[in-house]
Structure 1
Amino acid sequence: MNPWIRWWITLNFYLKVTDIDATCNRLVATLNFIKDWMNHKQLNLNVGKTQYLQIGRRHDLRNANVLGLNVDCVHVRLVDNVKDLGVHLDNSLSVAPQINNVVKASAYHLGNIAFVRKYLDEDSAKKLVHNCVISRLDYCNSLYYGLPNYHLNKRQNIFNRSTRLIIGVIL
């Protein structure tokens, strides 16, 4: 195997918390087990990049007394949000970070397409908008089912701007 090739493996596991102390101990034990298994397979666990997310109601998360997690004397970071398979999750499982990130990336690409739109025919513009913008807006759209309009209006604005861009109406 070529020593210059690196492999990144993302491992996710989920634990239900009933007793915070027992769960923290179980989490550390699980991380140590994973580290030992990876060492046995001649892989390295980058503990510096290891992080964990607590999910719950805001009130419960504020009152939770979580001990610091350490693996091999390296602190494992507690984060407020993570990205998993392109979906941004926060500690209260709200979709606001996901929608904001999707809209931001889509608006960026839409702006780039608008910059070169005058050089494209309508069919090419459709393909470019679909590949770079609409595909981002549609990815994991089942997450948005049943959301109130104030969450969905940002996405709808990008859809509307995309349509105006394709047909040549000034943005």
Structure 2
Amino acid sequence: YQKRKNEGKILKTPVSQLSKAQQEKTRQQWRSYCGGSYLNFPQSVSACISACLRDIQSWMDNHHLKLNPGDTVVSSSPTAKNIGVVMDNRLSLSQNIAAVSRTCRFFLYNTRRIRPFLTTYATQLLVQAMVLSRLDYCNSLLAGLPASTIRPLQLIQNAAARLVYNLPRHSHVTPLLTHLH
């Protein structure tokens, strides 16, 4: 939000309402979230950003607002987290798979340490809540990816099934997976 004074009152104007025409003209996508705004541009990024910033500056000047360029940071990133999924610029989801695998391995490691004190049912509930729910979240995005990319998630799922039923590392897991899910 940018603040402006109007007859002694401070009004707040959402930055996302700056220029709908500019969004359509440059074919950019603008989304606002609690932590800030997210812009997605086509390939000619520098030209679009320059034109967009000029239009924003013009709009703000026309509405008696001040743009502070020192506080405005425009940076590019090879990955972006959106609704909890790490997307990369090639849409391979390898960064997301690595992050989910790392988190799930952490929970499996800690659950394995307390496994002797848990029943099979309690372990199953814990693994479903902490590991399998993370594997299931936005898994439709993984459709069509090569098996080599998805393999880390499959290994996590197999390890989770072995942990629940307290089986050795190389035991067959296919029948166990049907019981867990």
CA shift for structure 1 position 78: 2.1
CA shift for structure 1 position 169: 1.4
**Contact 1:32-1:71 within 8 A present in 2 as well:** no
Matched, 1:22 2:47: yes
The one-letter code sitting in structure 1 at the alignment partner of 2:79 is: N
* Equivalent-residue separation in structure 1 for 2:56 and 2:127 (angstroms): 43
CA shift for structure 1 position 85: 1.1
* Equivalent-residue separation in structure 2 for 1:97 and 1:154 (angstroms): 12
5 Å-filtered alignment, 1:149-160, equals 149-160=147-158
The one-letter code sitting in structure 1 at the alignment partner of 2:121 is: D
5 Å-filtered alignment, 1:47-58, equals none
Matched, 1:72 2:82: no
When Rg is computed on C-alpha atoms for both structures, the one with the higher figure is 2
5 Å-filtered alignment, 1:118-129, equals 118-129=116-127
Unpaired stretches in structure 1, ≥5 consecutive residues: 1-7, 41-69
* Equivalent-residue separation in structure 2 for 1:131 and 1:34 (angstroms): 49
Name the Cα RMSD after superposition: 2.9
> Per-residue displacement from partner, 1:148-168 (whole Å, max 9, x unpaired)?
110111111111100000001
Query: Aligned match of 2:82 in 84, 89, 99?
Result: 84
Distance of aligned partners of 1:142 and 1:86 in 2 relative to their CA distance in 1, 3 Å threshold: same
Normalising by structure 1, what TM-score? 0.66
**Which residue in the other structure is 2:109 paired with?**
111
The one-letter code sitting in structure 1 at the alignment partner of 2:155 is: N
Distance of aligned partners of 1:20 and 1:132 in 2 relative to their CA distance in 1, 3 Å threshold: closer
Higher RCO (CA-CA < 8 Å; seq separation 6+): 1
**Contact 1:28-1:71 within 8 A present in 2 as well:** no
* Equivalent-residue separation in structure 2 for 1:9 and 1:29 (angstroms): 24
Unpaired stretches in structure 2, ≥5 consecutive residues: 1-33, 170-181
Length, aligned pairs only: 132
Identity rate of aligned residues, in percent? 27
